[in-house]
Structure 1
Amino acid sequence: MRRLSFLVSTLLTATATATVVVVGAAPGAGAAPGDTVSTTVEQAIEKLPVAAEDSSGYNAARFRHWTDPDQDGCDTRAEVIIAEATTPPAVDGRCTITGGAWHSYYDKRDHSGAGALDVDHLVPLAEAWRSGASAWTAEERERFANDLGDPRVLAAVTASEKRLKGDRDPARWEPSDDSADCRYIAEWAAVKGRWKLSLDPAELAALRNMVAECPTEEISYEMAL
């Protein structure tokens, strides 16, 4: 639904207006914000920069999130929950969500009602900070934390699964449903590439191990920076 619509829209937009850039020496090499990068998951992983991580100075408050840019009464978190419903919920003028159904791909669980859900930053805020976001402006961090331009950045998932994941990268956490691994690392590579974030050595090793199941899977993403 939301993801399919996004992919169709992205492909049409890229064909009509954007420069399509194949990953080169670095993710999005030669690309400007709004350009589209097309590559395989394996190539995307190999071309991401590798650097040691530094957590100093991190605070979630540095990423202003769950804003309401369109001022429709629903913040970013609610927008994701509404958009990712497999059965649309009822939404009133105060953005109270009732009914509906969802599928959490991390653990392959279906939910009736949004109470068991939370919205996960696929690349957690702390991980983004350690991987390059510490050098961003406050406005860039806010854009990342509320990124609705690519449905892979934010995901409505089982709340308990999100808590288990915490701020861990693929070296320390992967979806409890093994069949989700290829999707998860493809989305991880796309989000890190879109936002020009780095990998640490252990993270790279884990991604290389996981991508062996799906090395030729193709991904496209629009550059945010």
Structure 2
Amino acid sequence: MGRQQWWWGRGLAAVAVLAVAGCTAIDDPAAPEASDAKPSLSASASAGAEGGEADTGTLPGVPSAEQARTELAELKVAPHGSMSGYSRAKFPHWAELGEDCNTRETVLERDGTGVTRDDECRAVSGRWTSVYDDKTFTDASDLDIDHMVPLANAWRSGANTWTQVKRKAFANDLTHPQLLAVSAASNRSKGDQGPDEWQPPSKPYWCTYARAWVSVKSTYELSVTENEKTTLTDMLGTCPS
């Protein structure tokens, strides 16, 4: 079994675990989405795994800087593919996880502190810090759930050949560093741009951002452009030694 298939199988297994716990994913690509629409996150490592390694916060599966450099060197380098045929509907999200909860609400609870929910699983109170711009919020409506590797970026770097089922797994991946609650302003500023076109305003987060981006691209065997690889190399250079 190829590396890509192994990781994808692991991601689907995580969804299966949720189902056993009473959470059932849906496969309806026409299901209504929450906000977070945009114009146009390998081996796990705990925060501080290498002593001086930058804190990864709540983001799961972030590799060490050393591992990210190894994975980056192995990624296929290619120009962006065509956007022909792309639509966000081909990456169904947010998946229902049972008990009226979905992927968005799950990430909001994971990334916040003191989060309380109503009977429909919506976050009604809590505190969130957007790591992209160091802004703090107490209203969940001010937050978007960012896809570390945007859906459109994934499409033009290999996801256009995937099945709809695999694209859904990618869009709702809670195992790898792909989903993160951030300010709506920063998420929409990022859009579908790669690291060579947009970096988090908070420079201290560049190390974690690059490690997460590389991990997701490596896990799903997505390509990078020359400029993307150069910028990621520079961003990994900001990681503490």
**Coarse TM-score class (shorter-chain normalised):** 0.7 to 0.9
Percentage of identical aligned residues: 36
Pair 1:98 & 2:124 matched: yes
The Cα of 1:34 is off from its aligned counterpart by 3.4
Structure 1 distance, partners of 2:167, 2:5, is 22
Cα RMSD, aligned residues only:
2.2
Partner of 2:189: 164
Structure 2 distance, partners of 1:29, 1:197, is 10
1:192 to 198, 217, 239: 217
Q: Is the 8 A contact 2:146 2:182 kept in 1?
A: yes
2:67 to 40, 51, 55: 40
Change (3 A) 1:136 1:215: farther
Partner of 1:4: none
Q: Is the 8 A contact 2:207 2:237 kept in 1?
A: no
Partner of 2:84: 56
Change (3 A) 1:50 1:107: same
Change (3 A) 1:110 1:215: closer
Unaligned runs of at least 5 residues, structure 1: 1-26, 217-225
Unaligned runs of at least 5 residues, structure 2: 12-41, 44-62
The Cα of 1:71 is off from its aligned counterpart by 1.6
Matched residue pairs, number? 187
TM-score if structure 2 supplies the norm length? 0.72
Change (3 A) 1:29 1:71: closer
Partner of 1:72: 99
Change (3 A) 1:190 1:95: same
Q: Is the 8 A contact 1:42 1:215 kept in 2?
A: no
Matches within 5 A, 1:1-225: 28=3, 33-34=9-10, 37=43, 40-54=67-81, 55-68=83-96, 70-85=97-112, 87-150=113-176, 152-214=177-239
1:63-107 CA deviation, whole Å, 9 max, x = no partner? 111110x3220111111111111x222112212321100111111
1:138-163 CA deviation, whole Å, 9 max, x = no partner? 1000110111122x110000000001
